[in-house]
Amino acid sequence: MADYRKQGDVAVLHANNPPVNALSYHVRQGLYDGIEAAEKDPSVKCIVICGKGKTFPVGADIREFASGSAKKFPNLIEVCDKIEACTKPVVAAIHGFALGGGLEISLGCHYRIGGTSCKVGFPEVNIGVLPGAGGTQRLPRVIGLKPSLDIITSGCHVGAKEALKLGILDKIVQGDVVTEGIKFAKSVQNQPLHGRRVSTMAVPDVSQANALCNSAMAEVKRKSSGLLAPVACVKSLRVAAQTPYKDGIKIESALMLQLMTSGQAKALQYAFFAERLASKWQVPGGASHATVTPRPVKSCAVVGGGYMGSGIVMCILNAGLPCILVEANQKFLDRGIKMIQGLYAGSVKLGKMSEQDAKKTLSLLKPTLRYEDLKDVDVVIEAVFEDMKLKQEVFGKLDKVCKKDALLCSNTSTLNIDKIASATRRPDRVMGMHFFAPAYYMKLLENIRGAETSPQTVATVTQLSVKIGKVPVLVGNCHGFVGNRMMAPYTTEAQRLLEEGAYPHQVDQVIEEFGIPIGPLKVGDLTGLDVSWKITREVSRMLGLDHTKREDVEPFGLYFPVRNALYEKGRLGRKTGAGFYKYEKAGSKVAIPDPLVMDIIDHHCREEGIDRRRIPPQEIYERCLYSLINEGFKTLEEGIAARPEDVDIIWLLGYGWPRYTGGPMHFASQIGLRRLYGRIEYYHNKYPDRDHWTPSRLLKTLSQQEHPVPLAQWGQFASTTSRL
């Protein structure tokens, strides 16, 4: 709703819809009625629109796009037009954020003032729509086409100073923005409104419209191939330059309606809420984010200053927390410090940070070679080599020197967290924190709860994760957890396809066309074929298998003859300039299909008596993606992942899954579970020896329901108890 009050001859309209004043139906109605009431009241001379609580409205209520309420009278277009048509001056007083529909409301106002820390922007492209309440028509009339194209197609937030410079704000004010808004409104109450109604203005840089829009269109197509919304934004902005407002708004609405009903918008809006759901955890027994109070974390330590460890240190420092870095010897410690210093120097050079801030941040780092120095820290994150014996040794040492209530976390991507915890006398205060590389950049944190991890440990680690800028997803303990476990069948199928008739570039092309930025075999080259070879050897050992014997490893999906042949020839990937592909030189990024690799593959097939066949792209697509999705359902049925949304966030933020499909589980719901199950069963019959094609029981049950079960209810069909 919107609260209406009068202060002298000023009507003040507060949008009131906590926590972010999203412009849902009742808020729109309140604003519309408020303007009407103020217009009718002869004692009112001017009007201020503002937001209650922490922000100005941050946009339309995204949930109303799916429910259809966004179109209900008065829709946002009607509210903005009502404000603009008012015969008394209307001032937007912005604090916090004025985003999307919030900014559109402001552009409907005759004046806009903002607090020093306010931010404005049109983030609609991120949720698959456009600023469809006149945003694409009004913004260019205020600030010109060029900056409008930049702001609307990027979805970026614009700070107060920049907004003033561009002309979005008329004034920046100190102190309480509503009080200042009232003062400002009084100062303009006798000014004529002619010239202040944005829809009547002309776009200033109209003569360059075609050139600007053509170049913006080329840019959005290059940057976000396959995304509908940025393309529609450019189209709508072009219209603004060429058409009067009354016609432009109709075209904007038509484009908006197309986008609103597109699968992309649905998927992107699903991802928006899934990301916010991720940190809302619950564990068996009922303890949850809502019931458990985290312990305060005032200091941290990281063990291991390699690539991952250094990145983790930076996340902690960036959050303003002191961090001790421990290494095994001076050489490694110096290398870690140098890496961290270098990355901060890079940020300064790129203008992302001031030299002073970098210095201040770095002053929070305390390097040491002595474990004893960790005695007072609240949380330690171990980031040593992925080796159980080594990790247990480190945890044993940490357990001895750290204070009793310190939390000990392991940055492991696959290892058993209970086994690591068993090296301590505090398994309740041990947890996995699986960072993704580069740790200072990637937003995902897969947090692994061991069998004995206490709810308070989960609460504290979750809170710390958010504080260091991550999106934490709580998962259960199993080999590879959720992300890497799902990765296994995907990469296995990619490699098995090579033995049956495909070449690396053909597999990667299908996956890249789907929208994953880099195909599985190029990822193999990036990670290093020696690394994956060693992982296969270690996993085989753990399972008591001889990794050199095909009959041993094949039933476990650990037989990779092409990879092995390349490894034996010293083709270790990008770093040696040759792997599944060739590269111009060692370390180069451009993968070139290599006839030598094709010969190696053909030779292998001849030796094994395999008749190679042409593999259609659809088969590549299904075998890589459906096997991965099937594994995702298994993590749900086993309670390793708590919700399909969590699986999706892991893949969206950790593995480059295209956001406009919503993630593997949302994508599955779009394929249709009956159809998906049928295809998985087909491949199971075709490859009965491959365990990853055994259909998930959960998927089977869901696919057999008479009506499609909404994704949010899938959990009710998972029979096993949660292993979180």
Ligand X SMILES: CCCCCCCCCCCCC/C=C/C(=O)SCCNC(=O)CCNC(=O)[C@H](O)C(C)(C)COP(=O)(O)OP(=O)(O)OC[C@H]1O[C@@H](n2cnc3c(N)ncnc32)[C@H](O)[C@@H]1OP(=O)(O)O
Q: Binding to ligand X (CB under 6 A): which residues in 71-90?
A: 71, 75-77
Q: Binding to ligand X (CB under 6 A): which residues in 49-68?
A: 58-63
Using CB under 6 A as the binding rule, whether residue 124 contacts ligand X is answered as yes
Shortest spacing between CB 708 and ligand X, in angstroms: 25
Shortest spacing between CB 51 and ligand X, in angstroms: 11
Options 99-107, 408-416, 483-491, 533-541: segment touching ligand X (CB under 6 A): 99-107
Options 96-104, 474-482, 486-494, 497-505: segment touching ligand X (CB under 6 A): 96-104
Residue of 34, 51, 100, 181 that binds ligand X (CB under 6 A): 100
Shortest spacing between CB 639 and ligand X, in angstroms: 23
Q: Binding to ligand X (CB under 6 A): which residues in 147-166?
A: none
Residue of 127, 324, 417, 641 that binds ligand X (CB under 6 A): 127
Using CB under 6 A as the binding rule, whether residue 47 contacts ligand X is answered as no
State the chain's maximal CA–CA distance in angstroms: 94
Shortest spacing between CB 60 and ligand X, in angstroms: 4
Buried b / exposed e along 150-176 (16+ C-beta atoms within 10 A) = ebbbbbebbbbebbbebebbbebbeee
Place of tokens 């040759």: 578
Using CB under 6 A as the binding rule, whether residue 276 contacts ligand X is answered as yes
Q: Residue 488, Cα to own-chain centre: how many angstroms?
A: 22
Three-state secondary-structure class, residue 657: coil
Shortest spacing between CB 612 and ligand X, in angstroms: 49
Over the window 214 to 233, marking each residue x when it contacts ligand X by CB under 6 A and - when it does not, the resulting string is --------------------
Q: Binding to ligand X (CB under 6 A): which residues in 617-636?
A: none
Using CB under 6 A as the binding rule, whether residue 170 contacts ligand X is answered as no
- Beta-bridged to residue 303, according to DSSP, are 326, 382
Helices (H), ranges, 243-293: 245-260, 263-277
- CA–CA distance, 351 with 345 (Å, rounded to integer): 10
- CA–CA distance, 150 with 205 (Å, rounded to integer): 14
Shortest spacing between CB 231 and ligand X, in angstroms: 17
Residue of 16, 29, 253, 456 that binds ligand X (CB under 6 A): 253
Instruction: Give 250 or 425: the residue with its C-beta nearer to ligand X.
Output: 250
Residue of 101, 128, 144, 432 that binds ligand X (CB under 6 A): 101
Query: Which residues are the active-site residues?
Result: 104, 124
- CA–CA distance, 680 with 663 (Å, rounded to integer): 18
Shortest spacing between CB 141 and ligand X, in angstroms: 17
Q: Which of 529, 525, 504, 495 is nearest to 597 (CA)?
A: 504
Count of residues that bind ligand X according to CB under 6 A: 30
Instruction: Give 269 or 361: the residue with its C-beta nearer to ligand X.
Output: 269
Q: Is the preceding omega at residue 19 within 30 degrees of 0, hence cis? A: yes
Instruction: Give 131 or 311: the residue with its C-beta nearer to ligand X.
Output: 131
Instruction: Give 127 or 628: the residue with its C-beta nearer to ligand X.
Output: 127
Shortest spacing between CB 48 and ligand X, in angstroms: 21
Options 160-168, 176-184, 252-260, 453-461: segment touching ligand X (CB under 6 A): 252-260
Buried b / exposed e along 90-106 (16+ C-beta atoms within 10 A) = bbbbbbbbbbbbbbbbb
Instruction: Give 112 or 426: the residue with its C-beta nearer to ligand X.
Output: 112
> Does the CA dihedral 310-312-314-320 come out positive or negative?
negative
Instruction: Give 2 or 377: the residue with its C-beta nearer to ligand X.
Output: 2
Options 124-132, 209-217, 396-404, 561-569: segment touching ligand X (CB under 6 A): 124-132
Contact 521, 507 (CB under 8 A): yes
| 119: region left, alpha or beta (phi > 0 left; psi from -120 to 50 alpha) | beta
| Distances in whole angstroms, Cα of residue 339 to Cα of each of 31, 163, 327, 391, 412 | 53, 36, 14, 23, 21
| Distances in whole angstroms, Cα of residue 326 to Cα of each of 367, 415, 677 | 6, 21, 49
Instruction: Give 255 or 615: the residue with its C-beta nearer to ligand X.
Output: 255
Using CB under 6 A as the binding rule, whether residue 471 contacts ligand X is answered as no
Using CB under 6 A as the binding rule, whether residue 97 contacts ligand X is answered as yes
- CA–CA distance, 628 with 492 (Å, rounded to integer): 10
Instruction: Give 253 or 422: the residue with its C-beta nearer to ligand X.
Output: 253
Options 174-182, 249-257, 570-578, 700-708: segment touching ligand X (CB under 6 A): 249-257
| 362: region left, alpha or beta (phi > 0 left; psi from -120 to 50 alpha) | alpha
Instruction: Give 129 or 317: the residue with its C-beta nearer to ligand X.
Output: 129
- Beta-bridged to residue 46, according to DSSP, are 10
Q: How would you write 55-92 as a 3-class SS string? A: CCCCCECCHHHHHCHHHCCCCHHHHHHHHHHCCCCEEE
- CA–CA distance, 397 with 491 (Å, rounded to integer): 36
Using CB under 6 A as the binding rule, whether residue 128 contacts ligand X is answered as no
Instruction: Give 103 or 641: the residue with its C-beta nearer to ligand X.
Output: 103
- CA–CA distance, 628 with 642 (Å, rounded to integer): 17
Shortest spacing between CB 376 and ligand X, in angstroms: 31
Over the window 7 to 26, marking each residue x when it contacts ligand X by CB under 6 A and - when it does not, the resulting string is ------------xx-x----
Three-state secondary-structure class, residue 36: helix
| Distances in whole angstroms, Cα of residue 306 to Cα of each of 339, 379, 524, 587, 596 | 9, 19, 21, 19, 34
- CA–CA distance, 669 with 683 (Å, rounded to integer): 19
DSSP per position, 300-352: EEEE--SHHHHHHHHHHHHTT--EEEE-SSHHHHHHHHHHHHHHHHHHHHTTS
Using CB under 6 A as the binding rule, whether residue 70 contacts ligand X is answered as yes
Using CB under 6 A as the binding rule, whether residue 134 contacts ligand X is answered as no
Q: Binding to ligand X (CB under 6 A): which residues in 391-410?
A: none
Shortest spacing between CB 155 and ligand X, in angstroms: 8
Contact 520, 491 (CB under 8 A): yes
Instruction: Give 71 or 366: the residue with its C-beta nearer to ligand X.
Output: 71
Shortest spacing between CB 472 and ligand X, in angstroms: 13
Judged by the rule CB under 6 A, the positions of this chain that interact with ligand X are 19-20, 22, 58-63, 70-71, 75-77, 97, 99-101, 123-124, 127, 129, 131-133, 253, 256-257, 273, 276
